[in-house]
Amino acid sequence: MSPFRITAVCMGNICRSPMAEAVLRTRVTEAGLADHVVVDSAGTGAWHIGEDADPRALATLRAAGYDISHAGRQFDRGWFDADHPLRADLVLTMDADNFAGVIALAPDELARSRVEMMRSFDPALVDLAVGDPRLDVPDPYYGGPEGFVQVLTMIERASDGVVEALPTLLDR
């Protein structure tokens, strides 16, 4: 049986989604599920294909004890195909725009059902509907280092919720 694949998606795949990839991968490993769950990331845009994560994202991750090897990628419709090598079983988008962009690529209702907002797994936010701005992980790209720290905190809380939900998600 192939592993369950989680893909974190933001706009350019250099800030939020690589941070989510690093945190989720660590949490999955700590939960003893690394043999069953693969975590990666992508962006809705093509601007940073092949590039490393933003240096501020990397510095924030390293300061918190996370590590990541990264090369930017773009999410496309093929990632919903069962036989695609990067097939995504769960797509975690960072904000409402990313959510809408990924939903627009989904070929059918089954594919759309695999798209969630990252923060919808935050235990304090699980009752919020898609589109509620409190579910957005803000893009820290145009700000200072404190924005990356804020994003990391949001992603950590949501990642804990994702790992807690994995037994149910793996049964879908």
The one catalytic residue among 54, 122, 136, 139: 139
pLDDT band at 171 (very low <50, low <70, confident <90, very high): confident
The one catalytic residue among 5, 15, 16, 89: 16
pLDDT tens digits, 29-70: 999 999 999 999 999 999 999 999 999 999 999 999 998 899
Read off the pTM: 0.97
Q: Which pLDDT score is estimated for 2?
A: 87
Q: Measure the CA dihedral 107/53/95/60, to 10°.
A: 150
- Residue 127 is encoded by which pair of tokens? 């009752």
Q: Has 76 been annotated as catalytic?
A: no
Domain ranges for the chain: 4-165
What's at 132, amino acid-wise? D
Q: Which residues contact 51 (CB under 8 A, 6 or more apart)?
A: 14, 71, 72
Q: Nearest Cα to 104, choosing from 67, 75, 73?
A: 75
pLDDT tens digits, 140-161: 999 999 999 999 999 999 999 9
Q: Has 16 been annotated as catalytic?
A: yes
pLDDT tens digits, 85-138: 899 999 999 999 999 999 999 999 999 999 999 999 999 999 999 999 999 999
Q: Which pLDDT score is estimated for 170?
A: 84
* CATH fold for the domain made of 4-165: Rossmann fold (3.40.50)
Q: Which pLDDT score is estimated for 159?
A: 98
Q: 3-state SS string over 71-114?
A: CCCECCHHHHCCCCCCCCCEEEECCHHHHHHHHHHCCCHHHHHC
What's at 5, amino acid-wise? R
Q: Which pLDDT score is estimated for 90?
A: 98
Q: Has 10 been annotated as catalytic?
A: yes
